[in-house]
Amino acid sequence: MFEYAMRKIVNAIPILIGVSILVFLLVHLTPGDPARILAGPEAYEEDIAAIRERLGLNDPIHVQYWRFISSAVRLDFGRSFRTQRPVTQDILMRFPNTLQLAMVAITWSVIFGVGIGVYAGVRPNSIGDSLSMGAALVGVSAPSFWKGLLLMLIFAYLLGWLPASGMGESFFSADGLKRMIMPAITLGTGTAAVMARMTRSSMLEVLNQDYIRTARSKGLSERNVVYRHALRNALIPVVTLIGLQLGVLMGGAVITEQVFAWPGVGTLVINGINARDYPMVQACILLIATIFVVVNLLVDLTYSLIDPRIRYN
């Protein structure tokens, strides 16, 4: 297993280099001149030229790429065009906030989603099944922007139970928890819905297997059949999904963060893109790509825990 993990890590290197080239080209080829945006439409042309020179934007593109990649391997992503601060410093300050939000969202959505999925999978085509799958469909389709504002309207504006936006000073305080509720629900509903649908279909498939019939005919309780025999086998695709969803949540928290003024990486990316802050966008996207790779590796390794038949050789 150690060997397998190492091989996976080594494999990840070309992926990340590929991503770095792609990101670099994407941000540099997108129309929009960072110096011009920085200086604004009212600026003097001479001042814009001076800013371009200072930011090193006049160098040939391969020189710029080399400068970027040679320092990136030392985890130095340069200085933000906008703030002049080292990009890594800003990201490190914000990343824990995004991580916190994503972890809370994934935790509740997995518990809730898998629960509903099992419930619906055990009684297919019942009213409960249709209702919960209908709800899941709404959860998947409703855009987070809309969900977020709706929650805010109900719980902050109409009921006044929760503060509308912002993050508390600490997660482990009443204020921190209250401020976490709405963003976590907004971010997690999509995932919960996907989880529910995936668990349901996976359960349906497993429940039709011969070994389930065997388990039932052995006289095992239904509870035992569903949770020990069926669910465990049904979980493999669900775990894969959790991995993918965690990546999606980390990268896709952008809108939720924007709506709830959550100081995460998402707002950095948005501001970075709007300002063509190349170093910031490159570093954030690379970070998100790295998370995807790491999470996928963890998912691969988890398989063997759920299903002992899976071996890595």
Using CB under 8 A as the binding criterion, the count of chain residues that bind other proteins stands at 72
Place of tokens 């800003």: 90
State the nearest-atom distance from the C-beta of 4 to other proteins, in Å.
38
CA 77 to chain CA centroid, Å, is 22
Query: Which one of residues 2, 3, 10, 41 is an interface residue with other proteins (CB under 8 A)?
Result: 41
50 binds other proteins (CB under 8 A): yes
164 binds other proteins (CB under 8 A): yes
State the nearest-atom distance from the C-beta of 16 to other proteins, in Å.
26
What is the Cα–Cα distance from 47 to 49, expressed in whole angstroms?
5
What is the Cα–Cα distance from 184 to 109, expressed in whole angstroms?
9
Nearer to other proteins, 260 or 292 (CB): 260
Chain residues 166-195 in contact with other proteins, contact rule CB under 8 A: 166-169, 173-175, 178
State the nearest-atom distance from the C-beta of 260 to other proteins, in Å.
7
Query: Which one of residues 4, 5, 16, 36 is an interface residue with other proteins (CB under 8 A)?
Result: 36
Choose the stretch contacting other proteins; rule: CB under 8 A; options: 13-21, 229-237, 260-268, 296-304: 260-268
State the nearest-atom distance from the C-beta of 253 to other proteins, in Å.
13
Chain residues 135-154 in contact with other proteins, contact rule CB under 8 A: 135, 138, 146, 149-150, 152-154
User: CB-based contacts of 247: which residues, under 8 Å, 6+ apart?
Assistant: 288, 291, 292, 295, 296
26 binds other proteins (CB under 8 A): no
What is the Cα–Cα distance from 255 to 12, expressed in whole angstroms?
28
Query: Which one of residues 2, 3, 10, 40 is an interface residue with other proteins (CB under 8 A)?
Result: 40
210 binds other proteins (CB under 8 A): no
Q: Are 168 and 184 in contact (CB under 8 A)?
A: no
Query: Which one of residues 57, 204, 220, 270 is an interface residue with other proteins (CB under 8 A)?
Result: 270
Nearer to other proteins, 13 or 153 (CB): 153
125 binds other proteins (CB under 8 A): no
Query: Which one of residues 74, 75, 125, 160 is an interface residue with other proteins (CB under 8 A)?
Result: 160
What is the Cα–Cα distance from 53 to 45, expressed in whole angstroms?
12
Nearer to other proteins, 183 or 251 (CB): 183
Place of tokens 């498939």: 205
CA distances from 165 to 1, 28, 175, 189, 273 (A): 44, 34, 11, 18, 23
Token pair of 23 as six digits: 């990101």
State the nearest-atom distance from the C-beta of 236 to other proteins, in Å.
23
State the nearest-atom distance from the C-beta of 28 to other proteins, in Å.
13
DSSP string, 9-57: HHHHHHHHHHHHHHHHHHHHHSS--HHHHHH-TTS-HHHHHHHHHHTTT
Q: Are 161 and 182 in contact (CB under 8 A)?
A: no
